[in-house]
Amino acid sequence: MTSDEIERLARDGRPLPQYTTLPDACYYETIRALWDAVRSGRITKEEAHSRKRRMLRQYAEYRAGYDNACSMYRRQQEQIRRSERLRILIAKADSTEEKLRYSLQLIALLTGDAVLEQAEINRMEGIT
């Protein structure tokens, strides 16, 4: 959802969709409370506008951090899946060379060393 969509829902007193991210829910609740404060006369529209700008900056920072954490989590989960597939291939491999290639792929995956696998295979084959 965009911040504008969240603001419209909060302003109109409509609920968020069922599956909403935590940053979106937090922004919604703060904007909704801000609208309630304006409507009840506890703060002026000018004060609300100033607070909203601050909240929007904080929401953008929180959202970026949340998105980054989710992306990192997805990458980690994919690495776990790939490492499990490689472990199975190592166990099923018929030749020592095949086991070594899969093992090199696994080590490269776990260490984040993209060069390792190819460098060691080249060395195995006598290519420098």
Mean pLDDT along residues 12-31: 94
- DSSP class per residue in the chain: --HHHHHHHHHHTPPPPSS--HHHHHHHHHHHHHHHHHHTTSS-HHHHHHHHHHHHHHHHHHHHHHHHHHHHHHHHHHHHHHHHHHHHHHHH-SSHHHHHHHHHHHHHHHHT-HHHHHHHHHHHTT--
pLDDT, tens digit, for every residue of 54-77? 999 999 999 999 999 999 999 999
Q: Please state, rounded to an integer, the average pLDDT across all residues of the chain.
A: 92
What is the pTM for the complete model shown?
0.68
Mean pLDDT along residues 104-113: 88
**Per-domain boundaries in the chain:** 3-75
